[in-house]
Amino acid sequence: MQIVDNVLAKRAANGNPIRVGLVGAGFMSRGLTHQIVNFVPGIAVSAIYNRTLARAGEAYRFANGDIEATAASSQSAFDSAVAAGTPVITDDPFLLSRCDQLDVLVELTGAVELGAQVTLDAISHHKHMILMNAEVDATVGPILKTYADAEGVIVSASDGDQPGVQINLARFVKGLGLTPRVLGNVKGLQDEHRNPTTQAGFAAQWGQNPAMVTSFADGSKVSFEQAIVANALGLTVHKRGMLGLEHDGHVDELTTKYDLDELRALGGVVDYVVKAKPGPGVFCLAEHSDAKQRHYLNLFKLGEGPLYSFYTPYHLCHLEVPNTIGRVVDFGDSAGSPLGPPMVEVCAVTKRALRAGEILDDYGNYMTYGQAVSANEMSAGNYLPEGVVEGCRVRRDLPIDSVITYDDVELPAGRIVDRLRAEQRAMFARQS
């Protein structure tokens, strides 16, 4: 984003970089650290948290082998290091959220309970938060947004991840005078019953976490991501699980695959397609109601309408996150935040038959997968969110491919995410 790079260049010239703390030191965090350290003047990775301290240090060395970060276990030592411009690592995430010297945090763990805890703590300490943790955003994003608004800070999705790319595309399209009707994600594979064993080879090839790779393959990740888009743009889904068309052609051809009257009645939808080109990009199908402008769009080779195809043929993940950092800190602009009540949620579905007494593993594992569903159906069915499955005890036998409800499980005690879910449901029930 050209306006952001100019401001970051001025910051670099003035020796006043945006000071960023990274929560997590995994695959994406290492890439983001490398990107900022080597290619983005005007931003400094001031601190990295990881539960394994050595891995936080490795993230710095991945970016530059000469960086030796100092370890801190107290707030005073941590704050002093950040103030001095010394890279600092810690195994206590709350040192980041409570540090006045940091301008913004980026959450990259993928852990829902930890992500919710740190985000809530950052908000309470008047700190912006950028979520590369789609699971937190889709599960408790609307209630976190109310907390952030009350404190005058921003909780934002990120450029580079598919939700941020789609939301940017929708903003561009609306700026042209069109109405987005479908916001979509292009997938190469969709198989709800994939697990870390089936995905181990792919994960090893790319140095990724097998559970995270599984969440891509089994549809949980795209469900989380499309829920974020829906909640930021006021859209819904056709049905639980979305349509998920298989289309071995260009996304431009999708303009004839949807019923426009149905899209209008629904107010617009989020969806995904499998095998379409260009992949792995995103697309927006949008309507223009003005005959004069439709004439121009036809001249510009977008077709006769009434639906027109717009797309971004890539999403560059951590490479684009510095844009979000600049947008949030210097312009007060979010790359995507819930508009209000949730429109789409992600429910938990059994990946195999479950037996009473079993303890559920986390998303992207062996026992459940997530499906995007309208918030109304989620509430009416008392469905269990996929973002809270880990640690729940199954109360009764459940067949494969069945939606899990709150009545089917016992929740672990004392979790922040469950408190936030209850607050979110109560708050938006009052507003409906």
Cβ-in-10-Å burial (0-12, 13-18, 19+) of 57 comes to buried
Percent of the chain whose pLDDT exceeds 70:
99
Q: Count of residues for the chain?
A: 432
Three-class secondary structure of residue 132 per DSSP: coil
Residue 431 pLDDT exceeds 70: no
374 beta partners: 344
Between strands 344-350 and 368-374, the pairing is: antiparallel
**Structure tokens, 64:** 């530059």
> Can you tell me whether residue 104 is helix, strand or coil?
strand
Distance separating alpha carbons of residues 229 and 219, to the nearest angstrom: 15
Range(s) of the chain covered by CATH 3.90.1210.10: 344-431
Give pLDDT tens digits for 42-91: 999 999 999 999 999 999 999 999 999 999 999 999 999 999 999 999 99
Question: What tens digit of pLDDT does each residue of 148-203 get?
Answer: 999 999 999 999 999 999 999 999 999 999 999 999 999 999 989 999 999 988 87
Separation of alpha carbons 178 and 284, rounded Å: 11
Beta-bridged to residue 349, according to DSSP, are 369, 403
The region, left, alpha or beta by phi > 0 then psi within -120 to 50, assigned to residue 70 is beta
| Token output for 345 | 């949620």
- Assign a CATH topology to domain 344-431: Type Iii Antifreeze Protein Isoform Hplc 12 (3.90.1210)
**Confidence at residue 208, expressed as pLDDT on a 0 to 100 scale:** 85
Q: Among 132, 99, 127, which residue's Cα sits nearest to residue 115?
A: 132
* Residue whose tokens read 């992500």: 115
pLDDT band at 335 (very low <50, low <70, confident <90, very high): very high
Look up residue 403 and give its amino acid.
V
- 371 forms bridges with which residues in the sheet? 347
What distance in Å separates the CA atoms of residue 352 and residue 337, rounded to the nearest whole number?
A: 34
What order of strands is seen across the sheet that includes strand 155-156? 70-71, 88-90, 43-49, 18-23, 104-107, 128-131, 155-156
* Over residues 3-27, mean pLDDT: 97
pLDDT at 430: 61
Task: Report residue 258's pLDDT band, with 50, 70 and 90 as the boundaries.
Answer: very high
Give the pLDDT confidence score for residue 204 in this predicted structure. 86
Pairing of strands 70-71, 368-374: unpaired
Q: How far is CA 42 from the centre of its chain?
A: 25
> Whole-angstrom Cα distance, residue 200 to residue 213?
8
CB of 139 within 8 A of CB of 346?
yes
Between 354 and 211, residue with greater pLDDT = 354
pLDDT at 332 over 90: yes
Q: What is the pLDDT of residues 309-318, one digit of tens each?
A: 999 999 999 9
**Number of continuous H segments (helices) and E segments (strands) in the chain:** 16, 16
Residue position matching structure tokens 């939301």:
167
Residues facing 287 on adjacent strands = 179, 307
Taking the alpha carbons of 220, 222, 225, 229 in that order, is the dihedral positive or negative? negative
Any idea what the Cα angle at residue 420 is, between residues 415 and 421, rounded to 5°? 100
Give the model confidence (pLDDT) of 363-415 as tens digits: 999 999 999 999 999 999 999 999 999 999 999 999 999 999 999 999 999 99
Which class is 2-158 in CATH? alpha beta
Residue intervals in the chain for CATH 3.40.50.720: 2-158
Q: Return the DSSP state at 110.
A: -
Res. 1 pLDDT band, cuts 50 70 90: low
Q: Does the pLDDT value for residue 432 go beyond 60?
A: no
209: how many CB neighbours lie within 10 A of its CB?
A: 15
Rounded Cα distance, 218 and 314, in Å: 21
